[in-house]
Chain A
């Protein structure tokens, strides 16, 4: 059974532990700007929205890559950047209509959520269970995906 990151913004306190955990796991530094998950504050509403890749079926990033540097991990369902292959052309960063794959100028490669290979640090670090890693068929995940899918008309199967 594949699992998915499910985000419940109502529970988020904006503590940014997820960003810290992500950055230290992925880059070895406590630097939220290196995190693959971002928490956006909405000051007027007083809420925080953690946001990261939903590992969407369309896989815009994967298809747009000209050198096969983004590949599907069949075990986790994550679309992963293969660092040795990424040339840093950034085409994926403009192709992903969710804005969840970004260029890291320090490494010259792109970065995105890879579900930490199946044990995501953000979910473990979240003190309020705003981020959980649960069975993909949990209904809330479908809802989250629908928001994402609203984003743009679908592409045909490849």
Chain B
């Protein structure tokens, strides 16, 4: 049996190790694109910060690790999969056959359609090479503009700021981390970053990056920013219906209150020695065209991590698998899900039918010292209750979302202890019973609720 894995990230590596653990004789091959030993992209900020050396980014630290497990890790690009003949066409012109194939090709950062993206001082923040590029330019006092304030961008911030640069972040949405943080949380993180000396421009769109005409910096970055007046006045909306004002806005503007009344945008020019582009990622699935493998945002997989084509599985950032909360197929491009996918994929490649109950969306972020996390359906569900406690002076926020008396999502800022118990509570799908009312009053007692429900024999 020959298991071939495309991709040397966490999903691919964990799958290979799990396969080996269960089957000592199978042939296992990992095909990775990059020249380094398998490493963690997540560790980039900590290398930039100077906390670790490049070796500290490696997924496995023993240089003989893969050899000892008889896992063949090879550097090559896969151009094409031929499911009929069960072969891969590699970029060096050779072919590779497989019995079971795992696609764990990860994702690639998006390139926004902006003039100047090809300039040498413009870097993504994704690969080891990108990281080295940033490292060479993000020197003390350097002017850095980062496009994007999503999860990866914000995580990066820690590393870049620690290098003593003058950082400006430009984000298209109205707040930071818009895809994992609600309005309150996203704005609290923004205010925090500003208080830590980071210049944050929300509602801003970079329109061009050009060689500088003055000596102050290498480049000039032009940003179009919607003025404050162009954004609809914030309305104290109820989450679900939007209340009376929400209804009027919906009637008038078709349910898009944020983009109404767009007045003339302001144009701002920023000096930059380095521009970092972190505007999201896209699953690496382009090479699958013509294989018959069904894709959407990612490769569509069932609970057994199978794609639509026999003997081909997918895992990690490139896969669109079952979401725990909704049951729908979603891409969760996060480390814990990559690892879970890898483990499930391995079991199923071994012929054991082991179903993934669904991956829970979760994130943890350290935005220059302010720690936040979000889980599951943090945006809430229709007809569900929610409680939000904002403590602005303490930089603290807690948002609990319920479906009936089941906790389905959370957001927390400044809650550094026992965050994982929120995952426990959500994934237990426990009926909170009397604890629902307690939590609606005092959401901070969530750890007590967790203990009461998991150790009930002890407590009652």
Contacts and interface: CB of A to CB of B under 8 A. Distances in A.
B438 to A, nearest CB: 10
B272 interface: no
B457 interface: yes
Interface in B172-188: none
B418 A99 contact: yes
Contacts of B364: 89-91, 93-94
Contacts of A148: 454
B366 interface: yes
B67 interface: no
Contact of B423 (A94, A147, A150, A153): A94
Given A66-B40, A87-B46, A94-B373, A40 B51 contact: no
Given A94-B362, A94-B373, A152 B428 contact: yes
Interface centre among B21, B344, B352, B450 (most CB of A within 10 A): B450
Interface stretch (A23-31, A43-51, A117-125): A43-51
A93 B448 contact: no
Given A49-B455, A68-B61, A91 B335 contact: yes
Nearest to B453: A150
B327 to A, nearest CB: 14
Interface residues of B, number: 60
Given A49-B451, A68-B61, A153-B427, A93 B419 contact: yes
Given A97-B423, A99-B418, A152-B428, A157 B22 contact: yes
Nearest to B21: A158
A98 B452 contact: no
Contacts, number: 161
B455 A96 contact: no
Contact of B46 (A9, A89, A95, A102): A89
A49 B459 contact: yes
B335 A64 contact: yes
A148 to B, nearest CB: 7
A152 B451 contact: no
B301 to A, nearest CB: 15
A60 B375 CA distance: 16
A158 B14 contact: yes
Contacts of B352: 156
B343 A63 contact: yes
B455 A95 contact: no
B59 interface: yes
Interface in A4-41: 9-10, 38, 40
A1 interface: no
A90 B366 contact: yes
B306 to A, nearest CB: 15
Nearest to A42: B459
Contacts of A141: none
A115 interface: no
B424 A156 contact: no
Interface string A64-90: 101110000000000000000101111
13 contacts: A42-B448, A60-B336, A64-B339, A67-B52, A68-B58, A85-B61, A90-B364, A99-B418, A99-B423, A100-B418, A148-B454, A151-B424, A155-B343
Given A68-B61, A93-B364, 11 more contacts: A40-B447, A49-B458, A51-B451, A63-B14, A67-B58, A94-B420, A147-B457, A150-B428, A152-B427, A156-B346, A158-B346
